[in-house]
Amino acid sequence: MGWDGPMEHIEAELLTDGGNDAVVRLPGRRFPGLLLQGDSLHILRGDVAEVAAACERGDLTGARDSAGLLLATTLLTRYATALQEHDIPLPY
């Protein structure tokens, strides 16, 4: 399960502080990515699961409220701001 090749050490560009959601550009990539810590990824997955569960129950109000909280997260804003501060165009 997963990649089982040897661990490779590389240098990457860190465009924000490390934090739980660092904006990082890997060598050979035009655009940076967002590095989420495992616990933050788990929380995000749980939030999406709440939306899905509300949809399955037919609870559209609950689904809308949960989805609204997801949309309010600052991940995309943090990403866009970091790129703007480094004069990198957005990939979208």
Domain map (residue ranges) of the chain: 13-85
Q: Provide the sign of the torsion angle of the four alpha carbons 17, 22, 23, 24, taken in this order.
A: positive
The pLDDT value recorded for residue 37 is: 93
The pLDDT value recorded for residue 2 is: 74
Model confidence, pTM: 0.79
Residue ranges for the chain with pLDDT beneath 70: 1
Q: How far apart are CA 88 and CA 32, in angstroms?
A: 9
The pLDDT value recorded for residue 30 is: 95
The pLDDT value recorded for residue 18 is: 80
Over the stretch 41-55, which tens digit does the pLDDT of each residue have? 999 999 999 999 999
The pLDDT value recorded for residue 1 is: 65
